[in-house]
Amino acid sequence: MLTTDSRVRLTTAFAAAVAVTTGLTGGGAVAAAAQAAAGCRADYAISSQWQGGFGAAVTVTNLGSPVNSWQVAWTFAGDERITQLWNGSAAQSGAQVSVTNASWNGVVASGGTISFGFNATSGTGSVTPSAFTLNGVACTGSATEPPPAGGALVDNNFPVTREAAYGDNRYTVFRPSNPQAVGGPMPVLVFGNGACAHTNNSEVTRALTVIASKGVVVVDTGSADGSANGVPSGSPIPSLLTGAITWAEREQNRSGAPLSQRLDLTKVATAGHSCGGLEALVAGQDSRVSAVVSLDSGLFADGSFGYSRAELARLHSPVLFLAGGPSDIAYDNTRANYDLVTVPAVLAVHPQAGHVGFITGSQLTDGMTTVVQFLDMVLNGNGTARSYILDPSGLASRYPWTVSKKNF
């Protein structure tokens, strides 16, 4: 149990773009973002304790460039549950907590501080959280400049092997044919198919081959030959995507496997198209996930398919929403989901893509390029990819795209 002077200081180097948070208004373009240094320090102190509960104070110092809104997040180690919080708004799912600014304290200058306090219940006493983030940036007490431009994933073009997942007929793997040629550990993307097709993934083969050719290992739901694998199709099964992450973890350590020690399991993303996007949004809550991509998808207001929009509050990592414009049957859901998420998010709209253009149509290359650039930005901190996604001179300048963003 912590004493009243218990305190944690956490620091990291991180490069990020800081942007003005904007609302979505008809899919219009957003305000400019600037490349900036980022970093923070977090201080956590128990201010009082009583039987079954405690009070705590959190102070976060912004060591990077000024921000216009903030979200501080951490994970409790035990059964702590916040019951009251001041100077912000709290959301908690299990042990994961996020606190967002109030209407009057969102702007924080470089060197400025964020302070809030809370009361919480706990049957076992509070343990100091081991890590905090500010707007997705790990707080480790230092700040660095943005990473240099160049070395973007989109510049790669590796031959791709499509194969059955070893020992698990539920999945198909798309990977660079020669992992050694990539030159380093590869990020992992787990993907859910449109219509929640859990056997046949032929519709997404072209799109996922593009992603894999850039040096990403993709694990997709469905058997490689379309054979029965005991998994029903038509409804979301998010555990298939989290199971795909677990498969990758096993493969990383399987002696003689092509991907043995070739994966970077600190860089994992979920993604999916249409019904598969629902799987990605729910599976994205897994603590192993660092990025989420929703293609022509979004959770329904009425909780259709068994998952309500309350799931969005449980996301903890940046999200990319791709939408095909008014002719996309998921367009309204996509925009509504973007509005509701509290994590850093991007909404990119191509009004000619419709519901399947990014997967099977003439917008496939543009769509998959955007996905790869987003993954490179979030997972690798690549400066060139960040400019492409967030700067007005990037994707937003390419007709007929419109881009909205928030919390970056």
- Whether residue 4 is predicted with pLDDT greater than 50 in this model: the reply is no
Say whether both 341 and 204 belong to one domain: yes
Say whether both 350 and 203 belong to one domain: yes
Say whether both 170 and 112 belong to one domain: no
> Would you say residue 297 lies in a domain?
yes
Q: 41-99 pLDDT, tens per residue?
A: 999 999 999 999 999 999 999 988 888 899 999 999 889 999 999 999 999 988 889 99
Say whether both 137 and 162 belong to one domain: no
Given strand 171-176, what is the order of strands in its sheet?
Answer: 160-164, 171-176, 217-221, 186-192, 263-273, 291-295, 319-323, 345-349, 402-406
Report the pLDDT value the prediction gives residue 186, as an integer from 0 to 100. 95
Q: Is the dihedral of CA 224, 229, 231, 233 positive or negative?
A: positive
Q: Which residue type does 183 have?
A: G
- Whether residue 359 is predicted with pLDDT greater than 70 in this model: the reply is yes
> Would you say residue 2 lies in a domain?
no
- Whether residue 335 is predicted with pLDDT greater than 60 in this model: the reply is yes
Say whether both 140 and 157 belong to one domain: no
Indicate the residue among 85, 113, 144 that finishes a domain: 144
- Whether residue 2 is predicted with pLDDT greater than 80 in this model: the reply is no
Q: How many domains does the chain have?
A: 2
> Would you say residue 31 lies in a domain?
yes
Say whether both 231 and 102 belong to one domain: no
- CATH number of the domain enclosing 85: 2.60.40.290
The 10 Å CB-count burial string (b at 16+, else e) for 105-114 is ebebeeeeeb
| Mean predicted lDDT score pLDDT of the chain | 88
Say whether both 368 and 266 belong to one domain: yes
Say whether both 114 and 229 belong to one domain: no
Report the pLDDT value the prediction gives residue 146, as an integer from 0 to 100. 52
Q: Is the dihedral of CA 368, 374, 376, 379 positive or negative?
A: negative
pTM: 0.67
Indicate the residue among 126, 144, 162 that finishes a domain: 144
Higher pLDDT, 137 or 203: 203
Say whether both 119 and 202 belong to one domain: no
Q: 150-188 pLDDT, tens per residue?
A: 478 999 999 999 999 999 999 999 999 999 999 889 999
> Would you say residue 303 lies in a domain?
yes
Indicate the residue among 125, 144, 163 that finishes a domain: 144
Report the pLDDT value the prediction gives residue 103, as an integer from 0 to 100. 92
> How many whole angstroms separate alpha carbon 106 and alpha carbon 212?
39
> Would you say residue 4 lies in a domain?
no
Say whether both 226 and 330 belong to one domain: yes
- CATH number of the domain enclosing 338: 3.40.50.1820
Q: How far is CA 241 from CA 258, 280, 370, in A?
A: 21, 7, 21
> Would you say residue 347 lies in a domain?
yes
Phi-psi region of 293 (alpha: psi -120 to 50; beta: other; left: phi over 0): beta
Smallest CA-to-CA distance from 233 within 197, 204, 274 is with 197
Per-position DSSP letters for 25-71, written without gaps between them: STT-----EEEEEEEEEEEEEEEEEETTEEEEEEEEEE-SS-BSS-E
Report the pLDDT value the prediction gives residue 3, as an integer from 0 to 100. 36
Per-position DSSP letters for 161-218, written without gaps between them: EEEEPTT-TTEEEEEESSHHHH-S-EEEEEEE-GGG-SS--GGGHHHHHHHHTTT-EE
Question: What DSSP character marks residue 278?
Answer: H
Say whether both 97 and 170 belong to one domain: no
Peptide bond into 400 cis (omega under 30): yes
Q: Which domain holds residue 38?
A: 9-144
> Would you say residue 1 lies in a domain?
no
Q: 227-279 pLDDT, tens per residue?
A: 999 999 999 999 999 999 999 999 999 999 999 999 999 999 999 999 999 99
Say whether both 243 and 107 belong to one domain: no
> Would you say residue 204 lies in a domain?
yes
